[in-house]
Amino acid sequence: MINRFMILVLLGVLSGTGWAGTLQNKISWDDLGSEEQQLLQPYAEKWDSLPPGQQWRLMKGASRWNELTPEQRQLLRQRFKTWQELDSEQRELLRQRFERFENLTAEEQRLVRDRYQWFKNLPEDQRQQLRQEWKDMTPQERQNVKQQLKRMQKIKVPPGKAAGKGKGNQ
């Protein structure tokens, strides 16, 4: 069973940061719904001393958590467990990748998601083959593949439709 700490961390992740700076007024504990109060119980005694932005993020996170299906909650628990098992270098690498992704345009983000979905929908043996081919490439070969993907992006070619290029398309 997930412990309260994990739920609170997930609430922080779910809550985002977009609204935090705009809220200037504190939220009364009594204004929270009963389900939100239950999730945020560890904060009950110090709730009034929390900054309004933190109160807002926690409240929004609790509200979003309560709207998730049991399957979605389980998925988040598993992702959090995986995150906890990473070492600090792996976490930092993921933070950097996330930051790079966040700095992409909406169109570039959509393309990344589309390519991820394409890869995810491949049969497992093909995914493993592509991973191995990538590992076996020299840095120059990898750079060439990245350039090819950028060209494909400009002409909107799906990743699997490159004109017979590379070992993965045989």
Burial class (CB in 10 A: 0-12, 13-18, 19+), 151: exposed
> Does residue 111 sit within a domain?
no
Distance in angstroms (rounded) separating the CA atoms of residues 74 and 18 = 25
**Co-location of 135 and 74 in the same domain:** no
Position 106 confidence tier, pLDDT thresholds 50, 70, 90:
very high
**Co-location of 18 and 73 in the same domain:** yes
The arithmetic mean of pLDDT across residues 110-129, rounded, is 92
With a cut of 60, say whether residue 112 has pLDDT above it.
yes
> Does residue 89 sit within a domain?
no
> Does residue 117 sit within a domain?
no
Q: Which residues contact 127 (CB under 8 A, 6 or more apart)?
A: 119, 120
Structural domain for 43, as ranges: 4-80
Structural domains counted in the chain: 2
Q: Summarize pLDDT for 41-50 with one digit per residue, the tens.
A: 999 999 999 9
**Is the torsion defined by CA of 84, 87, 91, 94 positive or negative?**
negative
Please tell me the predicted confidence (pLDDT) of residue 70. Answer: 94
Of the three residues 30, 59, 80, the one that is the final residue of a domain is 80
Q: Summarize pLDDT for 63-95 with one digit per residue, the tens.
A: 999 999 999 999 999 998 999 999 999 999 999
